Structure 1
């Protein structure tokens, strides 16, 4: 019963996503129309980048009215700006009217706030520092609230005895196998007896990435896990955890690898030292690339409808069900990818930490058996 509900929910969410995509594309074509009311050709690259980029509002749809005006379905977000020349400013992004108007000396240019003069032209002499709560930040805060609520509610249930003296129930029954999986298949094999020290960290990054990835599947939501700044911070935290838990054996294998000839040692030093930084970099790029690619593929299939429509209305209508079918397939695959990427990031982090805290004496003492 639960699976049927989840399946129906995902189909409904995808349908809303497709409708909102069509409306946004139509809005972009209207916005770029020239004075003769002749619309420019559909730009799939611009439309796709607009969807996956950060923004000062959650945009869901745009409707064109009979009088030529547009009605936008969007959720505005707070804008916080500081300028050495103009001081601090705080207002809602709705004052920009979706980038069509300037407000308080500022305007949105390609989802970036710039200072403008009295005529509405960009004023490069005014420096602007943007501390706004964009949709990436807002969605990340929502994911944080969900994560804290999820973990604290689970802890309260275990503290009360549910799941300890009795069988787990409800949400606890669904989350417990995931926690057990992270403990038994990620932490223990890679960290050995020290796994308990790092298990809270591994559980946090696993669920934080998973929650953000799933939230990013909803129509109009932000692609947080596909933002390089988000993955860079996770990678930086992993790097700090790894470095602060290293020991002498780890650095000995970096700067003076035992058991190899001297010329090889000299050659290996820069390679091993570079590996210290490439490991967290691989975490950053892997998560960013995989999550961004999924969104781009889905939007690419949707864009094919408009590309074929410009060639021929018949071709556009004929290709629509094919495009939607492929988009739905990739959409469902993306749900699986969300779990896989959370697992890979947590597992690789555990492996790198395990290498840092491991005792390498056994490598030198073990003799090959003949």
Structure 2
């Protein structure tokens, strides 16, 4: 079973590498063709812009581009006080060179134009669009609900029997998170927080894996998403914190009264550093992995050499395997640290004293 799963993962990674290569090759060919058609184009203008390519693939956008020429338009939902709610397809921006119905899309930031064609500073545009990251988040939520519903149904039907199908693959992971992560760090009251922590782990894992697929969105590499997940953990921790936790922040034991103002600064800083560490760790690791892989693939079109292409493709496949491990590792670390933060806030005084 494990050998089959490993084989399938390797196949997916191989297809990912060659799909990325094919996509970038098309982009490079298209860019070269356009440059040759332009009048007296310079040599610098014909060069492959690797920085632009990387930012294009890791940033959010109002359309979902899987490969060059294969793009799915997404709903653009805008609200302004002057013009109310307006909904249209992002394809309208593509057809109008970034301009449609008085709006302009400047680097995925939508602004209203005035009659003279400039930006209308008096109109504040609230963008509620279904962007690539939002669509990917909806897709991952559907996958998560489907998988967990299937596992729950399989558990109820096979109660007392060996698990089958997807249940046999996910159940050991669920038990591992429960017994090795949540229980040891939260203690006897772990059941209250287990649903949230399991959801957190699988949500991050699914989006990390989706981001490795060709055309996948960089959802967990978006700092707004990682910040939101960290804020949920922060709120859950402090809403359920007990008296001992708050007293430790206000008056730590054994600290002289003269040192208390300094300790308050240290403790308050520590409270807010926890969600910041969760936010930056996940965001930085996922984004860095994508940048490395895209940079390696970009070398193929910079050197335009078959030998370099072969070496880069092999090394990119290796980096995809590393990123596959990082996808699991970062989901595990985020869940582990969230469990530790919650556990430290709800542990009883005698448990804290004895290190339980």
The residue number in structure 2 matching 1:293 is: 288
Q: What is the rounded CA distance, in whole Å, between the counterparts of 1:94 and 1:40 in structure 2? A: 27
The residue number in structure 1 matching 2:8 is: 5
1:58 aligns with 2:46: no
Deviates more, 1:249-258 or 1:96-105: 96-105
Deviates more, 1:344-353 or 1:147-156: 147-156
SS of the counterpart of 1:225? coil
How much has 1:40 moved relative to structure 2? 4.2
Change (3 A) 1:26 1:57: farther
Q: Which has the higher contact order (CA 8 A, sep 6+)?
A: 2
How much has 1:318 moved relative to structure 2? 3.0
Question: Within 5 Å, which residues of 2 pair with 1:246-325?
Answer: 246-309=241-304, 316-325=305-314
1:139 aligns with 2:145: no
How much has 1:45 moved relative to structure 2? 1.8
Instruction: Say whether the 8 Å CA contact 1:20–1:220 is kept in structure 2.
Output: no
- Residue of 167, 171, 178 corresponding to 1:176: 171
The residue number in structure 2 matching 1:68 is: none
When normalised by structure 1's length, the TM-score is 0.88
Question: Within 5 Å, which residues of 2 pair with 1:14-33?
Answer: 14-27=17-30
The residue number in structure 1 matching 2:71 is: 74
1:272-330 deviation line (CA, Å, top 9, x unaligned): 12111110111011000000000000011112223334xxxxxx333222222221111
Q: What is the rounded CA distance, in whole Å, between the counterparts of 1:237 and 1:29 in structure 2? A: 47
Change (3 A) 1:265 1:131: same
The residue number in structure 1 matching 2:161 is: 166
Q: What is the rounded CA distance, in whole Å, between the counterparts of 1:26 and 1:132 in structure 2? A: 31
Structure 1 portions without partners, runs of 5+: 63-71, 310-315
How much has 1:165 moved relative to structure 2? 1.8
Change (3 A) 1:239 1:2: closer
- Residue of 72, 82, 86 corresponding to 2:83: 86
Q: What is the rounded CA distance, in whole Å, between the counterparts of 1:264 and 1:300 in structure 2? A: 50
Q: What is the rounded CA distance, in whole Å, between the counterparts of 2:118 and 2:30 in structure 1? A: 23
The residue number in structure 2 matching 1:97 is: 94
The residue number in structure 1 matching 2:40 is: 36
Instruction: Say whether the 8 Å CA contact 2:31–2:46 is kept in structure 1.
Output: no
How much has 1:252 moved relative to structure 2? 1.3
1:348 aligns with 2:349: no
Q: Pairwise CA RMSD of aligned residues? A: 2.2
Q: What is the rounded CA distance, in whole Å, between the counterparts of 2:28 and 2:273 in structure 1? A: 39
- Residue of 332, 346, 350 corresponding to 1:361: 350
When normalised by structure 2's length, the TM-score is 0.91
SS of the counterpart of 2:146? helix
The residue number in structure 2 matching 1:334 is: 323
SS of the counterpart of 1:132? coil
How much has 1:259 moved relative to structure 2? 2.3
1:216 aligns with 2:219: no
How much has 1:257 moved relative to structure 2? 0.8
How much has 1:25 moved relative to structure 2? 4.6
Structure 1 ranges of 4+ moved more than 4 A: 25-35, 117-121, 362-366
Deviates more, 1:28-37 or 1:319-328: 28-37
How much has 1:32 moved relative to structure 2? 7.8
